[in-house]
Chain A
């Protein structure tokens, strides 16, 4: 019963967050002004602000949130562990290292203009490197300790690589600032180029994930039992790992490291509307998108230098600690 209300509720929250993202900021607009700017009316300034600045930012934020929410769900089913998520396992860090490597080396190699395409590619490669390492370190069905410790080690290692690149580019302030941007995550100055770079591929990835929900139900309760019940487990695992890694990498490429979305959002939605993946996947995509836009609104409402990754961590960190303390 309650599950049937989930999609309307989450869609309404997302619509609200989306409209608020277009309306709030240095220039405060009414919802009426936003709508007329969207359809091409209103004054020039409002139209420029909404269409050229806030709309791409909101679209990128929604896509990144949906991607992180979905890949959190996938990793939890894959590792049969509700604490698995892209940030904790180091997949986000891998993607960030890839992106930072392009940013740091780009100017030296002379393809600065191509970075918009090199970035997501490098991010995907970095994320796959991290995923491969996690798969080796923590075998399937790994216990919580082993999984989290592997993540800690991997995050430290990848972070060290990123720090190294940061110091080697210390003289280049612009590059340095860009790298810091990636490390803390953010949606500032996202343009339509970022939209094209990430959003269509993220939509495609989400679309491809949806039909796997039923088989994920079985996988999440045991690999061998899933296989005995008729799931082609090897194929499913391959599909899931590729899709979740690519989704995390794309989210990182357009928004930097944004932690805890893939942990917090599926968890709350599982408690509220049940664990069945056919519903949990779309719920987490909508919920992740709304959550990320809401966090982005916080960074804009309190202009004291709060970064998006900082806000999601402020929400997610305590939540994670509470989960760890909860009796299982």
Chain B
């Protein structure tokens, strides 16, 4: 039996998250959905070890408190909902920060820039980017870590349709390569394409499973207070490579 890549038991953050337990395996592409304030960012930060939380967290079967800081940087990458850069580092240097835990060995930085379509911006100061471009820089930095666990908090909220699709394709590819990728998002239609969907509501995990079993009209009505119907509709896709 393979160990879960991410294990949480009774994870609580006062006022924001209540006793969340879950196991995510290697190779899983996981969507996290829920209304504003449901606790998506909190859960992601807690699992990444960036917030003080009660309960148990394990990465690959190892308790988080036993993993030293640098080792954490090699195992898990986190992309926050906000990407602000106060100092004018060139984009290339921001992405290269993803290699900090590897002693700044530059492997994969150029590939990460290319993957997020940032090569032409590599020398631009990070302070002079649009919101969507900043998010792509943050994603490229996470990708450059080559960490097998990737937690991305609303990575596509500010991206145009093409870059959003590319990010989703990248997430799928990382999972197919054995990674564990958790993506929080608001687009329930996009969530349908993930291996697993986590639904959060007022700090509780109310849904956890395959998209078809979890994202039912009933649950959507109950959590999001909207009516969901299943119809044929326009689906933008990247052209075949």
Q: Interface of A with B (CB < 8 Å)? A: 80-82, 214-215, 217-218, 220-222, 224-225, 227-233, 270, 274-276, 328
15 contacts between A and B (CB under 8 A): A218-B100, A220-B86, A221-B85, A221-B94, A225-B141, A227-B50, A228-B76, A229-B77, A229-B97, A230-B71, A230-B74, A230-B101, A231-B100, A233-B69, A275-B88
The contact string, 1 if C-beta is below 8 Å from chain A, for chain B 102-137, is: 001000000000000000000000110000000000
Main SS at interface, chain A: loop
How far is A218 from B85 in the complex, measured between Cα atoms in Å?
10
Q: Which residues of A contact B70 (CB under 8 A)?
A: 230, 232
The smallest beta-carbon distance between B57 and chain A, in angstroms, is: 14
Closest 7 interchain pairs by CB?
A: A230-B73, A230-B101, A232-B69, A228-B78, A275-B87, A230-B70, A224-B50
How far is A164 from B80 in the complex, measured between Cα atoms in Å?
48
Could you tell me if B77 and A228 are in contact, using CB atoms closer than 8 angstroms? yes
Interface size on B, residues (CB 8 A): 33
Q: For the complex, is B72 an interface residue (Cβ under 8 Å from A)?
A: yes
Could you tell me if B100 and A224 are in contact, using CB atoms closer than 8 angstroms? no
Could you tell me if A276 and B73 are in contact, using CB atoms closer than 8 angstroms? no
Q: Which residues of A contact B77 (CB under 8 A)?
A: 228-229
Could you tell me if B100 and A214 are in contact, using CB atoms closer than 8 angstroms? yes
Could you tell me if B89 and A228 are in contact, using CB atoms closer than 8 angstroms? no
User: In the complex, what residue of chain B is closest to A280 when comparing beta carbons?
Assistant: B87
The smallest beta-carbon distance between B21 and chain A, in angstroms, is: 23
How far is A227 from B69 in the complex, measured between Cα atoms in Å?
7
Could you tell me if B80 and A225 are in contact, using CB atoms closer than 8 angstroms? yes
Question: A276 contacts which of B68, B72, B86, B93 (Cβ < 8 Å)?
Answer: B93
Could you tell me if A229 and B80 are in contact, using CB atoms closer than 8 angstroms? no
Q: Which residues of B contact A227 (CB under 8 A)?
A: 49-50, 69, 72
Q: Interface of B with A (CB < 8 Å)? A: 45, 48-50, 68-74, 76-78, 80, 84-89, 93-94, 97-98, 100-101, 104, 126-127, 138, 141, 145
The smallest beta-carbon distance between A257 and chain B, in angstroms, is: 27
Could you tell me if B87 and A220 are in contact, using CB atoms closer than 8 angstroms? yes
How far is A322 from B84 in the complex, measured between Cα atoms in Å?
23
User: In the complex, what residue of chain A is closest to B86 when comparing beta carbons?
Assistant: A80
Q: Which residues of A contact B97 (CB under 8 A)?
A: 217-218, 221, 229
Question: A221 contacts which of B71, B86, B101 (Cβ < 8 Å)?
Answer: B86
The smallest beta-carbon distance between A148 and chain B, in angstroms, is: 15
Could you tell me if A230 and B86 are in contact, using CB atoms closer than 8 angstroms? no
User: In the complex, what residue of chain A is closest to B97 when comparing beta carbons?
Assistant: A218
Instruction: Report which residue of B48, B76, B85, B127 has the largest number of chain A beta carbons within 10 angstroms of its beta carbon.
Output: B85
How far is A80 from B69 in the complex, measured between Cα atoms in Å?
21
How far is A145 from B82 in the complex, measured between Cα atoms in Å?
20
User: In the complex, what residue of chain A is closest to B73 when comparing beta carbons?
Assistant: A230
Q: Which residues of B contact A215 (CB under 8 A)?
A: 100
The smallest beta-carbon distance between A83 and chain B, in angstroms, is: 10
Question: A228 contacts which of B48, B68, B88, B93 (Cβ < 8 Å)?
Answer: B48
Known A217-B97, A218-B100; judge A228-B73 contact (CB<8 A).
yes
The smallest beta-carbon distance between A186 and chain B, in angstroms, is: 33
Q: Which residues of B contact A328 (CB under 8 A)?
A: 127
Q: Which residues of B contact A222 (CB under 8 A)?
A: 80, 84
The smallest beta-carbon distance between A320 and chain B, in angstroms, is: 17
Could you tell me if B100 and A230 are in contact, using CB atoms closer than 8 angstroms? yes
The smallest beta-carbon distance between A77 and chain B, in angstroms, is: 8
Could you tell me if A275 and B78 are in contact, using CB atoms closer than 8 angstroms? no
How far is A220 from B126 in the complex, measured between Cα atoms in Å?
13
8 additional A-B residue pairs with CB within 8 Å, beyond A221-B86, A228-B50, A230-B69: A214-B100, A221-B89, A225-B78, A225-B80, A228-B73, A229-B101, A231-B100, A276-B89
Could you tell me if A229 and B73 are in contact, using CB atoms closer than 8 angstroms? yes
Q: Which residues of B contact A80 (CB under 8 A)?
A: 86
Instruction: Report which residue of A225, A231, A274 has the largest number of chain B beta carbons within 10 angstroms of its beta carbon.
Output: A225
Q: Which residues of A contact B88 (CB under 8 A)?
A: 270, 274-275
